[in-house]
Every structure is written in C-alpha cells, then in structure tokens.
Amino acid sequence: MRTCLNFYEDWVKGNFCMQVDVDFWEARRYNKLYIGFYRKTGMEEKMEIRKNMENATLTIGLEGRLDTMTAPELEEEIRNSAAGAERIILDFTLLDYISSAGLRVLLSTQKKMNASGGSLVIRKPNEVVSEVFEATGFADILEIEE
C-alpha cells in the first residue's frame, strides 16, 4: 500500500506523465487499451525555440517535443514575435513529437495569419509529425514544405 500511496502522491504532484499506447490491430482484436506511466525527468518538458525575423518573415525553429507542457511557450513566443510578420515559418526539422495541444497552437496561428492576410508554413516535419498531420486532417489545411 505504501508504494501505491507514493505513486498517487507523485501523480497528484505531477511527477508522472501518462503515456497511452494503442496498437489498433491489437485493440480491435482484444478490445484493450494499454496505458503506461513513466516518471518525469525534466527532459520531456524541454523544447528549444530559435527565431529569426527577416523582412516580413518570422522563422521559428523548434527542437524537442511540442506537447501540453511546451505548447503555451510556443504560443506566447508567436504572440510576442509575430507583430508585423506577413509570413510565419515553423521549422519542424528537429521537432520529435507533436500533441493535440501543439496542433491547437498551429490552428490558432493559422486562423490569425489568415485573418490578417498572412500565411503560416510548416517546414520539414519528420515522419511521426507528418503522420499526425495526416491522421488529424491538418495536412489538408496547413501549408507544408517537405
């Protein structure tokens, strides 16, 4: 019981992340969903942001994971840096992962740029991120440069 209590306390304090892995074939076959927990090490929360404003184009390079923990940081960076930008390029060359929170930031940025007559470009997403875009339909609404 002590171990469970410690686990619960760590979970409540936010020291654990939940990772849900679904093998769709297995899920259909056995009607199961596998959920795993892993202790946060601090590395999961890190995302490096590099930006460059040239003429009216803001280029933002991302490295790491764009998830629930890091999406607000990107959203704030775009909000603070996008003034006067007619075009925003998000360079995903070094981005490892994107979650629904990251997709929300992309969608809101896309809407703001469209409303102001500008454009948002996603540059060089890796295979994992591209699959997320395909599965969610974002590949149809975003301008993606391979």
DSSP 70-106: THHHHHHHHHHH-TT-SEEEEEEEEEEEE-HHHHHHH
Q: What is the pLDDT of residue 142?
A: 94
- Same domain membership, residue 53 and residue 27: no
- Same domain membership, residue 60 and residue 32: no
Distance CA 13, CA 133 (A): 32
Q: What is the pLDDT of residue 45?
A: 56
How far the first Cα of the chain sits from its last, in Å, is 52
- Same domain membership, residue 55 and residue 33: no
Q: List beta partners, residue 54.
A: 57
- Same domain membership, residue 74 and residue 20: no
* Residue of 23, 83, 85 lying closest to 58 (CA atoms): 85
Q: Is-above-0.85 flag for pTM? A: no
- Same domain membership, residue 22 and residue 74: no
- Same domain membership, residue 111 and residue 95: yes
How many residues appear in the chain?
146
Is there a contact between 103 and 73 (Cβ–Cβ < 8 Å)? no
- Same domain membership, residue 127 and residue 103: yes
DSSP secondary-structure letter at 41?
-
- For the chain, how many structural domains are there in total? 2
Residue range of the domain that includes 26: 2-39
- Same domain membership, residue 35 and residue 99: no
Mean pLDDT by 10 residues, the chain (146 residues): 40 46 41 41 68 93 92 94 93 93 95 94 94 93 93
CATH of the domain at 57: 3.30.750.24
Q: What is the pLDDT of residue 105?
A: 96
Q: What is the pLDDT of residue 19?
A: 42
